[in-house]
Amino acid sequence: MNCSNIIVADENIPMFAIRGLKARGCDIVSIVEEARGCSDEVVLDISIKHKAVLISFDKEFGSRVYSGIPGTLCGFVLLRIPAKSPEHILRTLEWLIFESGIELKGNYIVVDESKVRSFPMV
């Protein structure tokens, strides 16, 4: 699958962070704006349709992604950081997307306060 540079932000990503990433030039689709309250299956369908990397805080969602749909989702980022503030979430995502050098496409990435782990999506 040819992945785009688009990110899909699950509805648990604050709008402040989404607007901040858009201001930095990130091509991002917000589930809050596009399909608020939809099921995980719809979120996955939107991510697959856009050939996008999905970002979420949802651990259950993360386990479903890791075990169930390799080869169809372009990438997944599971945030395991404390939601101290929307600003903290934005700073973390800015670092991950623009500064870390970590390839989001093709990987399952877990971000916590002390480390980032990356696993190829097979």
Q: What is the pLDDT of residue 92?
A: 95
Q: What is the pLDDT of residue 59?
A: 83
Is 96 contained in some domain? yes
Is 63 contained in some domain? yes
Is 81 contained in some domain? yes
CATH number at residue 58: 3.40.50
Supply 122's token pair: 């097979």
Q: What is the pLDDT of residue 34?
A: 87
Strands 107-111 and 53-56, by their bridges, are unpaired
Quote the domain boundaries for residue 75: 7-120
Q: How far apart are CA 23 and CA 83, in angstroms?
A: 21
Q: What is the pLDDT of residue 63?
A: 67
- Structural contact between residues 88 and 104, judged by C-beta atoms closer than 8 angstroms: no
Question: What averages of pLDDT result for each successive group of 10 residues across the chain (122 residues)?
Answer: 80 96 94 89 89 90 64 86 91 94 92 92 74
Of the candidates 105, 106, 85, 108, the one whose C-alpha atom is nearest the C-alpha of residue 97 is 105
Is 56 contained in some domain? yes
Total domains present in the chain: 1
Q: What is the pLDDT of residue 70?
A: 52
| pTM summary value | 0.90
Is 2 contained in some domain? no
